[in-house]
Amino acid sequence: MNQGNLTPRQAEMKKYIEDYFADHGYAPSYREIMKKVGIPSLSVVRYNLERLQRGGFLERDPGVARGIRPRSAQLRPIRVWGYIAAGEPTPVPGVSDPLFGPDEALAISRDLLPRDRDLFALIVRGDSMIDAMVHDGDYVILKPEQQARNGEMVAVWLRDREETTLKYFFYENGRVRLQPANPSMTPILIDNPENVEIRGRVVMVVRQLERPRWPSPLSG
- The set of catalytic residues is 128, 167
Question: CA triplet 137, 138, 141: central angle to 5 degrees?
Answer: 135
CB atoms within 10 A of CB 89: 19
Closest by Cα among 104, 79, 95 to 154: 95
- Residue 118 CA to residue 185 CA, distance in Å, equals 32
- Residue 162 CA to residue 76 CA, distance in Å, equals 32
Distances (CA, A) of 13 to 8, 18, 53, 142: 9, 9, 12, 30
Q: Report DSSP state, residue 47.
A: H
- Residue 48 CA to residue 42 CA, distance in Å, equals 10
| 35 contacts: CB under 8 Å, gap ≥ 6 | none
Instruction: Please answer whether residues 220 and 93 qualify as being in contact, where contact means their C-beta atoms are separated by less than 8 angstroms.
Output: yes
